[in-house]
Amino acid sequence: MLPTHRRDKILELLQEDGSAKVLDLAKLFKVTEVTIRQDLEKLEKDGLIIREYGGAYLKNIKDQVQTFSLTHQENLDKKELIASKCLEFIESGDTIILDSGSTTTELAKKLKGMKNLTVITNALNIALMLGAEPGIEVIVTGGEFKPPTLSLTGQKAADFFKGLNVQKLFLATAGISLKSGLTYPSISDLVVKRAMIEAAEQRYLVADSSKMGKTALASLGALSLIDYIITDPGIEEKHKQVFYDNEIELIIANGK
């Protein structure tokens, strides 16, 4: 892996987890601790992170948590379009899982006012958003807190889903490709995503077209893990064909 590519992946991980240790990063990227320290020094010089003894953390992370803002706010128009389309697949009486993420947050906003709905989530911002809605029961997982995504992760979060049977899952992703499948910046999230998938009868992947063909650090598994993908009209024909070839129903949110 080229140094610039590795630094990009380190930054993606920090934007997901908030902080990381040099030792853990060295093991993850299979390089020396000296190399990781050099990477972190470069990222700090670029004004993206702050180094500390034995590791580093994302710049402005305290402000983000205090204001309850997510780090990934790009393509919000596309994400809102996808969220509106998701409403067509949610009915009164449903129990659904909402994964953490900016697209699922847009969906949560649109659930306000619904009746007789149960939402299970690992996203604290979603829980607070919907918790006061009289027609919605909100259930939150346990787990380790990740400041940038305002979410709970790790094995404890995954264990929450054992034995559950829910109608629908709305799953987020950082990258989608034929070779790597569904990918994420953080390894700690993989066990949670798998548990969500196993608990759901119908699995909807919500991802804007910018995620197509991209690959993040950690692979969850093949595209066959999902039943449907809801995306925006910007998706290219070659990416459409990937879903058709894998017998995944493609749903395009065209706003009409």
Domains of the chain, first to last: 3-59 (1.10.10.10), 76-252 (3.40.50.1360)
The residues that bridge with 171 in the sheet, in sequence order, are 205
Within a 10 A sphere around the Cβ of 193, how many other Cβ atoms? 23
Q: At residue 69, does pLDDT exceed 90? A: no
Q: Of the given ranges (6-10, 60-64, 115-119), which has the lowest mean pLDDT?
A: 60-64
Tell me the mean pLDDT in the region 162-177.
94
Q: At residue 154, does pLDDT exceed 80? A: yes
Tell me the mean pLDDT in the region 194-212.
96
256 pLDDT band, cuts 50/70/90, is low
Tell me, what's the pLDDT at 5?
87
Q: At residue 222, does pLDDT exceed 70? A: yes
Q: Distance of CA 87 to CAs 118, 193, 254, Å?
A: 14, 21, 14
- Whole-angstrom distance, CA of residue 221 vs CA of residue 199: 16
Note whether 149 and 126 are within 8 A (CB). no
Q: Of the given ranges (47-56, 121-130, 189-198), which has the lowest mean pLDDT?
A: 47-56
Q: At residue 12, does pLDDT exceed 60? A: yes
Residue count of the chain: 256
Tell me, what's the pLDDT at 136?
97
Tell me, what's the pLDDT at 217?
84
Tell me the mean pLDDT in the region 180-203.
94
Mean per-residue pLDDT over the chain, rounded: 91
Measured between its terminal Cα atoms, the distance across the chain in Å is 43
Q: At residue 187, does pLDDT exceed 60? A: yes
**Reported pTM:** 0.86
Tell me, what DSSP letter sits at residue 87? G
Q: Which residues contact 181 (CB under 8 A, 6 or more apart)?
A: 219, 220, 221, 222, 223, 225
The residues that bridge with 136 in the sheet, in sequence order, are 117
